[in-house]
Amino acid sequence: MHQRILAAALAALAALSSGLGCAGGAAHRAAVDTAAPPGGGAGGASGAQAAGSQPSPSPLMDVLAPGRPRATDEQLKKLRELPLEACWGALQGLGYKRCFEGGFTLTRPEKRFAGRAVTMRYLPVRPDLVEAAKGLASKGGWNPAFNIRAGDVLEPGDVVLVELGGCVEESTFVGDITALAIQERGATAIVADGGIRDLDEIRRLEIPCYIRGAHASAMEAQTGVEWGVPVRIGGITVLPGDAVLGDSEGIVAVPPQLLDEVIRKAEATVEKEEFIREKIRSGKHKASDLYPTPAPELLKELEARKKKDEKRDENKDAKNDEKKD
């Protein structure tokens, strides 16, 4: 498996290198400077990220794609039910130290979400950049306004992540109408490292928004330049197709190839912490006997409980298989 991934990555790098010379390289860079229309997918991204038969929006993602499966609905369901900190801890152990971003203003702090990242990048406006972006959008057949484009092409289970450099005034990604359109496409959340407008109306929507602030101004200071590329959200990098989990504390970005392992490790953390809480509530143990790691005799009890639960689950699965037969 790893050999196939490495071979595909090297082939993608070779193709990229051969396309970067003189006029051919300039044409290639121009083609990938913004995302292609929806259809087909790569690197675990949703159809809204997809390049179809067009050049990829990100050669870097082409290199990563062979090792990035699409996050399944079942995986996202399990992820959404887990504590964010338990998932963060699992990622720390796997070497992903910068995977959490907080400090957002939340429109629906009581709502948790999990979804596949659809990424968008904005830059401050300048006439030539705006003209080029509009030209590419016209040629590619998509709306140059990324908030409207999102309301056209997002798929159920997508989560929108927008790089806006932390700006708010005249950097408002959505108002209530475009937010509603994104919600009705089945998106699970909007995460904007920038602003929104129509805050009172957006708070009445079901879709949670993670933002840096709200402002009455429209989007005039920045323009959308790239779709389906790695983006910076505060202090972390989010790649298209990442599984993103959000709660009232912030967001965690999970590489899709690590989802099963992160879920397994997070579930083990939940089981251990539930055991610790149970023992503390019993009043029979000191906190130091249990936290952060239970004393040896209590660890043995925890392990025995795990084996018992595993045996019970195996028997349950066997009975279900018998019923199917």
Is 204 found in the same domain as 88?
yes
**Residue 137: partners with Cβ closer than 8 Å, 6 or more residues away:** 34, 143, 144
Is 273 found in the same domain as 159?
no
Is 177 found in the same domain as 306?
no
Q: Which two tokens stand for residue 28?
A: 């290639």
DSSP string covering 77-96, please? Answer: HHHHTS-HHHHHHHHHHTT-
57 to 36, 106, 200, 283: CA distances (angstroms): 7, 30, 35, 58
Residue 238 in any domain: the answer is yes
Q: Count up the domains in the chain and report the number.
A: 2
pLDDT digits (tens, 9 = 90+) for 36-54: 444 334 567 676 765 333 5
Q: What is the DSSP letter of 229?
A: S
Looking at residue 259, what is its pLDDT?
98
**Is the predicted pLDDT of residue 14 greater than 50, yes or no?**
no
Q: How many residues does the chain have?
A: 325
Question: What whole-number percentage of the chain has pLDDT above 90?
Answer: 72
Domain that holds residue 314: 261-324
pLDDT digits (tens, 9 = 90+) for 193-242: 999 999 999 999 999 999 999 999 999 999 999 999 999 999 999 999 99
Question: Mean pLDDT throughout 15-24?
Answer: 37
Looking at residue 308, what is its pLDDT?
82
pLDDT digits (tens, 9 = 90+) for 119-137: 999 999 999 999 999 999 9
Residue 82 in any domain: the answer is yes
Span of 54-63, 122-131, 247-256, 260-269 with lowest mean pLDDT:
54-63
Helix (H) / strand (E) containing 140: helix 127-140
Residue 53 in any domain: the answer is no
The overall average pLDDT reported for the chain is 86
Is 226 found in the same domain as 97?
yes
Residue 245 belongs to a domain with what CATH number? 3.50.30.40
Burial class (CB in 10 A: 0-12, 13-18, 19+), 323: exposed
Residue 100 in any domain: the answer is yes
Is 270 found in the same domain as 159?
no
Residue 36 in any domain: the answer is no
Contact 177, 202 (CB under 8 A): no
Residue 57 in any domain: the answer is no
Residue 176 in any domain: the answer is yes
Q: Which residues of 112-139 are buried (b: 16+ CB within 10 A; e: fewer)?
A: bbbbbbbbbbbbeeeeeebebbeebbee
Higher pLDDT, 307 or 242: 242
Looking at residue 38, what is its pLDDT?
41
Contact 244, 252 (CB under 8 A): yes
